[in-house]
Copies of this chain bind each other. A is one copy, B any other.
């Protein structure tokens, strides 16, 4: 009499009401092409820091730091998302370059250490289906005043981040890469993309995981394209938080607050259209 789960479908809690609807499975079980949506604008600032500080963030299991200890902080503001029936939401991520040398797979790219989002629904699908380290914060639209773009992030009113861009100038877009061209293929068998460490605790056995593995968002594929690109100067500032200020995330914010900023490397503003549904997310072994 109980329901049976269809192994051809994707499920998430609650499982009692049929397959779940989300970014990779529409209401009719269909997929979303992500061709003319979402529309997004993005800010990004990167800086050089200490190898030693970043190495403390390397997850267990065959990770090494990439060539240079450069941290990138980016925020994207998305609209017209089809799987949300045309709504939008915003994200804020922190990455640095890593190399993965597993038993079977070799990969290089950026480790997405955390991705804040201002909507719970994609946080759930992202954590559970994809292994993204997503957590919640408020991400209001950046303000623009007399040439300065200012993005902030807060949690229940505590502002923990300021990103500022100034002296931005538009630069010509590079010719679009051939989407299936050889440059995106794994070189010498080394996969490229964004890396994540998925971890799910086991109920009642609190130090034990139900799942603990490395996952990859491959860099190739999808319909994402940049339509506008600006370069300039930028700064990023994480503000020290007490447990009382951010009782679930103070450790994350303070870790970034402690990072030495040796020099800023780049600051960009961009607009783009399209993406992919990330159904090509895969486990690295």
Q: Which residues of chain A have a CB within 8 Å of any CB of chain B?
A: 1-18, 20-22, 24, 26-27, 37, 55-61, 63-65, 79-80, 82-88, 113-114, 119-121, 123-125, 127-136, 138, 140-141, 143-146, 148, 150, 152, 154, 156-157, 159, 197-204, 206-211, 213, 215, 243-245, 247-252, 255, 279, 281-283
Contacts and interface: CB of A to CB of B under 8 A. Distances in A.
Contact of A248 (B20, B213, B215, B251): B20
B156 A157 contact: no
Contact of A86 (B17, B20, B144): B144
A65 B20 CA distance: 23
Nearest to A5: B60
B140 A157 contact: yes
A285 to B, nearest CB: 11
Nearest to A123: B120
Contacts of A120: 120, 123, 135-136
B247 A13 contact: no
B58 A1 contact: yes
B130 A63 contact: no
Contacts of A3: 56-60
Nearest to A126: B13
Copies in the complex: 4
Contacts of A82: 145-146
Most buried by B among A22, A84, A121, A132: A121
A213 B124 CA distance: 19
A93 B75 CA distance: 33
A251 B18 contact: yes
Contacts of A79: 141, 144
A7 B207 contact: yes
A4 B58 CA distance: 9
Nearest to A197: B15
Contacts of A156: 87, 140
Most buried by B among A14, A143, A248: A14
A193 to B, nearest CB: 13
A197 B13 contact: yes
A135 B14 contact: yes
